[in-house]
Amino acid sequence: MIVKRIKGISVSDGVAIGYARIVEKEHIHIETKKIAKTVVNKELKRFHKDVEYVINELNTFIQDDSFSKENRDILTTHKMILQDPAFIKRVKELITQKLFSLEHAVSTYFTEVVNIFDAMENEYYSQRLTDFEDVAYRLLSHSMNKSKDVLAKLDDKSILIMKNITPSFVTKVFEKNIRGLCTEKGSKNSHSSIIARSMNLPMLVGISGLLENINEGEQIIVDGNNGEIIIFPSSNVLAEYKSIYLQESQKRKKLQKLINVKAITLDNKEITLMSNIELPEEIDQVIKNNSRGIGLFRTEFLFMDTEKLPTEEEQYKIYKKIAEKLAPEPVIIRTIDVGGDKLSSILNIVHEENPNLGFRGIRISLANIPIFRRQIRAILRANTQGNVKIMFPMISGVEEILQVKKIIEECKNELKKKKIALYKDIEIGAMIEVPSAVITSDALAKECDFLSIGTNDLVQYLLAVDRDNESISSYYKSCHPSVLKAIKQTVDNAHANGIKVAVCGEMASDTQYVKLLLGLGVEELSVSPGRILMTKNEIINCHVQKWAKLVEELMELKTSDEIYERLNDGKNYE
């Protein structure tokens, strides 16, 4: 066999050598089992619940604009198949009258339909047939808990191969200690990618032809450093990668020595290096890496993959536990930022043609005031040590900050009336991720206690390039002159108003940009716990004043390429 290399987009660096585990459709075997009359009602309930679950799942995909319009139209057709009264009626009939199990009844219905279409010998109907087969697979694999089977085949030698992956599934597969992850779709700054990166899991996305080129069980190499996957590696290639893997492990060991080293630059400036978390379980990693608190808790993950919204009490307990564990270090809790690739079915977000410019971030909270107030109350109550701060996503101007401040005051009064003791004050901050927020950052700085730049979205909105669309990823340029200018403007306005500014987007942990950010005047960075030590290594090797000088030069350059080249030469500055 000849060594084959396929290019992809690297999400996190590092090398993984393992065996391909393809997670795709698998054959479902249905037992033609009858049920007792006494369990008919239970079976009907299970049927309605499973249909509802799959419809919700489909809704999430339909609203996810990382899928093409064509794909979403197909999924809308699938949803209609499940909502078809003829389907519901027939399956109910089979369960109640023939005493078929739910799986048997569903598969019988679909077989009947497929047989009818099959007999028609018409291209339109044969396409419809695939749709029916797809829907049957989706519903049955849910009813039969097939996703659990999928997880069962993964182990610590696996490299997972999928068409696409959701953020929650990344977390699930990580628990299986897999070595790497490759997907045909996806982009560098989607939430699945951010999570994989935070777990230091070598991952490539946007690999076209991935599923056609790999067979189950084959030995493969994921090269996250060069953005390629290697199939049929020869013994020489394998030996080469084993040696790279060893060197990387040694590098990681070396970085471990920085755990107790302070994040102080060569010219003695202390940088606050904090962590971004998505799930409460990540707190152990935050502590293990000796992070100076949490700079971004993406709380929307508490609202996803759940059938019911978390209550005030549930949220309060989670926030309080994290705040107490990390006190006196700060814990910045960002209110829900659902939208884009993080759509939550339970918030009833309707399909939008242009979701990244639609109901996202603070807009969702301001349109769902009771849910928002519940979260604000939980955060206020959790601030027992005075180290909790609140941050708002997708702020586009001062009016939204004034609105949220009013709501915070109302929530405080509400809690006081209930005689719930509150810490005297809570700091509030705005995320700077929309161009209008950069332009009005002077006014925002006057209303906030801190600002935090979300570069993932800021680059997306400044350059009008969808962060989740792999086909235009070459337009997503973090060192575009406009990005540098936007960061500088925000930093200058924050400092002129006596407040600090952090960067919590992925640029903060990208080793090619850390020193640049410090040179731009940023004094706080928040990164995935797994990137803390790598980022610290950049900080302690940075002379901020020299980089500030280089930044002055960079600000004069006209193109991203020139900036990128100069940045690389910048290493000579040390």
By the criterion CB under 6 A, which residues form the site for ligand PEP?
296, 298, 337, 433, 454-457, 504-505
Residue 278 binds which entry of Mg ion, ligand PEP, none, with Cβ cut-offs from 5 to 8 Å by kind? Answer: none
Shorter beta-carbon distance to ligand PEP: residue 104 or 467? 467
Residue 455 binds which entry of Mg ion, ligand PEP, none, with Cβ cut-offs from 5 to 8 Å by kind? Answer: ligand PEP
Torsion sign, CA atoms 500, 334, 284, 162: negative
| Number of residues assigned to the chain | 574
Look up residue 543 and give its two tokens: 């002379």
Q: How far is the CB of 467 from Mg ion (least distance, A)?
A: 9
Spatial distance between the Cα atoms of 214 and 8, rounded to a whole number of angstroms: 14
Neighbour tally for 344: CB within 10 Å: 22
Look up residue 28 and give its two tokens: 């479902």
Shorter beta-carbon distance to Mg ion: residue 143 or 460? 460
Q: How far is the CB of 503 from ligand PEP (least distance, A)?
A: 8
Spatial distance between the Cα atoms of 460 and 507, rounded to a whole number of angstroms: 13
Shorter beta-carbon distance to Mg ion: residue 204 or 343? 343
Distances (CA, A) of 326 to 279, 321, 525: 15, 9, 17
Residue 355 binds which entry of ligand PEP, Mg ion, none, with Cβ cut-offs from 5 to 8 Å by kind? Answer: none
Shorter beta-carbon distance to ligand PEP: residue 394 or 411? 394
Shorter beta-carbon distance to Mg ion: residue 433 or 470? 433
Residue 322 binds which entry of Mg ion, ligand PEP, none, with Cβ cut-offs from 5 to 8 Å by kind? Answer: none
Q: How far is the CB of 488 from ligand PEP (least distance, A)?
A: 17
379 Cβ contact list (under 8 Å, min separation 6): 315, 319, 333, 335, 388, 390, 426
Look up residue 88 and give its two tokens: 């519901």
Which of 457, 466, 468, 523 touches Mg ion (CB under 5 A)? 457
Residue 505 binds which entry of Mg ion, ligand PEP, none, with Cβ cut-offs from 5 to 8 Å by kind? Answer: ligand PEP
Shorter beta-carbon distance to Mg ion: residue 51 or 404? 404
Give counts: helices (H), strands (E), the chain. 23, 16
Q: How far is the CB of 195 from ligand PEP (least distance, A)?
A: 11
Distances (CA, A) of 187 to 183, 298, 324, 425, 470: 10, 19, 35, 40, 5
Shorter beta-carbon distance to ligand PEP: residue 104 or 197? 197
273 backbone dihedrals φ, ψ, rounded to 5°: -110, 110
Asked about 191 being catalytic, the answer comes back as yes
Q: How far is the CB of 456 from Mg ion (least distance, A)?
A: 5
Q: How far is the CB of 457 from ligand PEP (least distance, A)?
A: 3
**Does residue 510 bind Mg ion (CB under 5 A)?**
no
Q: Name the residue with the smallest CB distance to Mg ion.
A: 457
Neighbour tally for 281: CB within 10 Å: 10
Per-residue contact track with Mg ion, 417 to 446, x per CB under 5 A?
----------------x-------------
- Residues 289-318 as b/e (b if ≥16 CB within 10 A, e otherwise) read bbbbbbbbbbbbbbbbbeeebbebeebbbb
Stretch touching Mg ion by CB under 5 A, among 47-55, 89-97, 342-350, 449-457: 449-457
Sheet holding 203-205, edge to edge: 4-7, 228-231, 219-223, 15-22, 158-162, 180-183, 203-205, 9-12
178 Cβ contact list (under 8 Å, min separation 6): 18, 21, 154, 155, 156, 158, 159, 160, 201
Work out the angle between the directed axes of helices 40-62 and 123-143 (0-180°, nearest 10). Answer: 120
Q: How far is the CB of 190 from ligand PEP (least distance, A)?
A: 9
Residue 502 binds which entry of Mg ion, ligand PEP, none, with Cβ cut-offs from 5 to 8 Å by kind? Answer: none
Spatial distance between the Cα atoms of 45 and 41, rounded to a whole number of angstroms: 6
Spatial distance between the Cα atoms of 216 and 22, rounded to a whole number of angstroms: 6
Q: How far is the CB of 439 from ligand PEP (least distance, A)?
A: 17
Choose, from 448, 479, 504, 542, the residue flagged as catalytic: 504
Q: What is the DSSP letter of 426?
A: -
Q: How far is the CB of 58 from ligand PEP (least distance, A)?
A: 24
Choose, from 104, 191, 480, 543, the residue flagged as catalytic: 191
Shorter beta-carbon distance to ligand PEP: residue 150 or 527? 527
237 Cβ contact list (under 8 Å, min separation 6): 3, 221, 230
Which of 330, 454, 521, 530 touches Mg ion (CB under 5 A)? 454
Residue 298 binds which entry of Mg ion, ligand PEP, none, with Cβ cut-offs from 5 to 8 Å by kind? Answer: ligand PEP
Stretch touching Mg ion by CB under 5 A, among 79-87, 457-465, 507-515, 554-562: 457-465
Gyration radius of the chain over CA positions? 26
Q: DSSP letters along 457-524, please? A: HHHHHHHT--TT-GGGGGG--TT-HHHHHHHHHHHHHHHHTT-EEEE-SGGGG-TTTHHHHHHTT--E
Alpha helical stretches, state H, 262-392: 283-288, 312-326, 362-367, 369-382
Shorter beta-carbon distance to ligand PEP: residue 129 or 525? 525
Asked about 504 being catalytic, the answer comes back as yes
Shorter beta-carbon distance to ligand PEP: residue 107 or 460? 460
Residue 504 binds which entry of ligand PEP, Mg ion, none, with Cβ cut-offs from 5 to 8 Å by kind? Answer: ligand PEP
Cis previous bond, 330, omega within 30 = no
Tokens 């777990």 -> residue: 199
Binding region for Mg ion (CB under 5 A): 433, 454, 457
Q: Which residues are catalytic?
A: 191, 504
